[in-house]
Amino acid sequence: MITLANPWLLLLLPAPWLIWRFMPPHKEQVAAIRVPFFRMLTEAAEETPSVGATVLRRSKLQMGAAMAIWALIMLGLAQPERLGEPIVIEQSARDIVLALDISGSMDERDFVGEGGARQQRLAAVISVMKDFIAARDSDRMALIVFGSKAFVQAPFTEDLQSLDGFLDQTQVGMAGPNTAIGDAIGLAVRTFEASDVDERLIILLSDGADTSSRMTPINAATIAADRGVVIQTIGVGDPVASGEDKVDLGALENIAARTGGAFFFANDAEALGQIYAQIDEMTPRITKSTSYRPTENLSWIAAGAGLLIGLCTLSFLTIQARRRTT
């Protein structure tokens, strides 16, 4: 499909004719030679003297070429464009922060994997988390890891494959041996300050109780709720253990409830995978679509045709003039 970007310029097509029709002709005075006995010369030549004015006239070829060139100039300025097929771009309308506990207790090998083999908690969690990330097409995601301190391992990105590399580099204890759930939530909320979408989700996974946060998890969850952030919490580990190795299921459930999220508990890799599937169903992918049609500017065709006509006409008139003088 071909359209004109500035079709109103075609209204100027009759401008040369209007100027020729209604504007006074251009007059130019030039020097002349006074000839003695002018009257005698005109009588001898049997001519009638008149006012010394010469009106230049163009040939039909010149007029036709001029009209064609003017029309092509106006057509080029109107910018003819060829429209391509519509291209739809889907952008994420939601940002997700994954907050992953990598405290010392995540080194325990009590997760049951495929075939009943015992796995390290962190390794099993990362394996299932990668599958969840791969299914989040078009979502923007960020990764926060926390132990005694919380750190942004990966800022918001649409390149979800890059998160696999960050997860592979994550090791138990690299953020300290303790658990700072409140700080992790606070850091996730601050991470959303760079987000301009309305749908904001935190998926928090921990296997212990908060022991080193400067802000309590409940206060952090309240702040998150005030800013429209939903937190889904996942507890892993041993709820009957003691000390920091005991997962605080009550706190995780309370965090989720305060933000309108849900709490889950997983004691093996299969259950964890089912939990991520439930979260996927509860929070389906949200996108906003924008579309555009690529355009190809065709003005160069009109400009090239006008130039070609001008050169051909000029060449023809030059050859014709030379033939007359020879």
CA dist., res. 13 & res. 28, Å (int): 27
Contact between residue 148 and residue 176 where contact means Cβ atoms under 8 Å apart: yes
What pLDDT does 232 receive? Answer: 92
H or E stretch at 292: strand 287-292
- With b for 16 or more beta-carbon neighbours within 10 A and e for fewer, the 64-92 pattern comes to ebeeebbbbbbbbbbbbbeeeeeeeeeeb
DSSP string of 66-115?
Answer: HHHHHHHHHHHHT-EEEE---EEEEEESEEEEEEEE-SGGGG---EE-GG
- Say how far apart CA 175 and CA 150 lie, in whole Å: 7
Alpha carbon separation from 33 to 40, 45, 271 (Å, rounded):
16, 18, 112
CA dihedral 56, 59, 62, 67 (to 10 degrees): 90
User: Could you write out the DSSP letters of every residue in 112-169?
Assistant: E-GGG-EE-HHHHHHHHHHHHHHT-TT-EEEEEEESSSEEEEEEEES-HHHHHHHHHT
Q: Over its length of 326 residues, how does the chain's per-residue pLDDT go in tens digits?
A: 788 888 898 898 998 888 888 888 777 777 777 777 777 777 787 777 766 656 667 788 888 888 999 999 999 999 888 888 877 766 666 788 999 999 888 888 877 766 667 778 888 888 888 888 887 766 788 999 999 999 999 998 888 888 888 888 888 888 888 889 999 999 999 998 877 777 889 999 988 778 888 889 999 999 999 999 999 999 887 666 665 566 778 888 999 999 999 999 887 778 888 888 887 777 656 566 677 778 888 899 999 999 999 999 889 888 888 887 76
Burial class of residue 96 (count of CB atoms within 10 Å of its CB; 0-12, 13-18, 19+): buried
CA–CA gap between residue 213 and residue 218 (Å, rounded):
11
144 and 191 in contact (C-beta within 8 Å)?
A: yes
Residue 150 CA neighbour count, 13 Å, CB half: 29
Cα separation, 199 vs 259, whole angstroms? 13
Query: Is 147 within 8 Å of 244 (Cβ atoms)?
Result: no
Q: Which residue has the tokens 């995780």?
A: 252
In whole angstroms, what is the distance from residue 115 CA to residue 135 CA? 24
Beta-carbon contacts of residue 61 (< 8 Å; ≥ 6 apart) = 313, 316, 317
For residue 146, the model assigns a pLDDT of 93
Integer Cα distance of 36 and 56 in angstroms = 28
Domains along the chain? 2-85+294-325 (no CATH), 89-289 (3.40.50.410)
**CA 181/CA 218 separation, integer angstroms:** 10
Torsions phi, psi for 156 (to 5 deg)? -60, 130
Q: Taking a C-beta distance cutoff of 8 angstroms, is the pair 234, 261 a contact? A: no
Q: What is the pTM of this model?
A: 0.63
Q: Token pair 């933000």 is at which residue?
A: 259
pLDDT at 194: 77
DSSP state of 233: E
